[in-house]
Amino acid sequence: MRIDIVTLFPGIFAGPLQESILGRARTKGLVEIGVINLRDSAEGRHRVTDDYPFGGGGGMVLKPEPLFACVEALRRPGSRVILLDPQGRRFSQDVARELAQVEHLILLCGRYEGVDERVREHLADDEISIGDYVLTGGELPALVVTDAVVRLLPGALGDEEAPGKDSFGAGLLEGPHYTRPEEFRGWRVPEALLSGDHARIARWRRAQALWRTWRRRPDLLETADLSPEEQKLIEEFKHGKKPEA
């Protein structure tokens, strides 16, 4: 897989792309990530990439010429051009799985008041937002999308089943995790996790995931694939019963 990130501020990506899972995935050859300075595609001595909006108003707008030139130089069969934009569809684990199947992603980082509308209409294949809040530009969303996608690639994680166990991976939030010591300041690790009974541990973890999701993100339960037993647990939660501590 290859991911190309088009930005006015390439220095933002230097550290994150070298560390942790992203860094290891690049070293192992699982993904190639390019960071392209948009100014290199701008014309003129001053490499201007933005201008005042027609009709007036505050702020600047990214010009179409450098964005089209940059993307057209990068694009190849199988490429998908994504504009990181607050007006785009909401990013989710399902969208990350969808993008992980794409051979080549080109991520466009918006800035200022946004991009010329012709970029949205005639250059981008998709628009993605990571949430309903305002950021300075599309660089942090590009990193979020890149991280979420790369960790889904085969071989990126030590445990191939790990993505399915993460929060949202199976449609629920993850339950709690514990490590040594067994007791810390009087707080003990739940007995189920110390029992050595793998079936009991699996039941406990699933019940805790359901409990946490029901309390914090009940909206996720509307689309989660629940067994009849799990649906019964949810009904018990609604009537005041808690899972095994």
236 is catalytic: no
Helical H segments across the chain, by residue range: 20-27, 64-74, 93-99, 117-122, 139-150, 162-165, 191-194, 198-216, 228-238
Written as six digits, the tokens of 236 are 């018990």
Q: Which of 40, 98, 127, 166 is catalytic?
A: 166
- In the set 16, 53, 64, 86, the catalytic residue is 86
Told to judge if 113 belongs to the known catalytic residues of this protein, a careful annotator would answer: yes
Pairing of strands 187-188, 79-90: unpaired
Active site residue 182: no
Given the residues 65, 113, 147, 174, select the one marked as catalytic. Answer: 113
Assigned token pair, 119: 């970029």
Set 66, 151, 163, 243: catalytic member: 151
Catalytic residue list contains 166: yes
Q: Rounded to whole angstroms, how far apart are CA atoms 13 and 19?
A: 11
Strand partners, 3: 33, 105
As annotated, the active-site residues are 86, 113, 151, 166
